[in-house]
């Protein structure tokens, strides 16, 4: 151990030879350096950490890996702790999970979400939808296939909410059964989707979905989907 006046004369040797070519300023300077490295690397998490951290032979690589694990845990806790009352899952949060973008993001808000059980979302249908330009001029009707797509995207939010780092995954819909379309969906309507998870195993899911405008059921379908890595 280096003491007092010996600091200015200290030369430290390691397995590969001399470690420093200048005198140490503190007896525990190497430890202080490691602590500063750790504090700086954990600042990448972007949030204060409440707790005690014990580091043994730490370095930037292990520090950054630990910071990534904390970030993943932080994102999961934010999703799990959300009460998901109306307005909480707005379009900005949906875009954090879903990869779709204009003109193919067809869910505007998530109203309810029970993990691996149920999801309720809405799509506001306006005359500004690009598909109304050709479907049909003078008689705009939302294409049935896009109603199913919007329903599937709503279910996709529920599925991607089951994995860590949802940005690393996509939802592929592999099958549609028993699709029925009862009433046309027009500009000005608000579609409400209600989906229940029927089965979920090995990242493959079966869902029963319904679409409503007000109290009227306008469509329904059974959907089969799988979660895949990008």
- As annotated, the active-site residues are 60, 135
Number of alpha carbons in the 13 Å side-chain half-sphere of residue 34: 12
The residue to which tokens 């950490």 are assigned? 49
All residues at 6 or more sequence positions from 223 whose CB lies less than 8 Å from its CB, including other chains: 148, 151, 152, 155, 173, 175, 176, 177, 195, 206, 207, 208, 209
Distance, CA of 67 to chain centre: 17
CA distance to 21, 120, 170, 200, per residue, from 155 (Å): 62, 9, 12, 12
């Amino acid at each position: 151990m280096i003491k007092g006046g010996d600091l200015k004369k200290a030369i430290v040797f390691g397995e590969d030879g001399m470690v420093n070519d200048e005198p140490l300023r503190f007896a525990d300077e190497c430890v202080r350096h490691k602590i500063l490295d750790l504090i700086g690397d954990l600042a990448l998490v972007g949030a204060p950490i409440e707790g005690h951290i014990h580091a043994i032979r730490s370095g930037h690589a292990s520090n950054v890996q630990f910071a990534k694990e904390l970030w993943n845990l932080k994102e999961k806790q934010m999703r799990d702790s959300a009460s998901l009352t109306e307005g909480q899952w707005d379009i900005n949060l949906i875009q954090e999970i879903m990869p779709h973008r204009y003109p193919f993001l067809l869910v505007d808000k998530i109203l309810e979400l029970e993990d691996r059980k149920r999801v309720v979302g809405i799509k506001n249908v306006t005359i500004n939808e690009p598909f109304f330009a050709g479907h049909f001029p003078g008689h705009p009707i939302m294409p049935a296939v896009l109603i199913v797509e919007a329903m599937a995207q709503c279910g996709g939010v529920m599925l991607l909410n089951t994995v860590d780092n949802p940005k690393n995954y996509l939802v592929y819909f592999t099958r549609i059964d028993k699709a029925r379309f009862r009433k046309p969906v027009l500009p000005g309507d608000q579609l409400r989707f209600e989906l229940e998870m029927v089965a979920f195993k090995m990242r493959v899911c079966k869902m029963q979905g319904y679409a409503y405008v007000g109290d009227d059921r306008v469509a329904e379908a059974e959907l089969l989907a799988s979660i895949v890595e990008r």
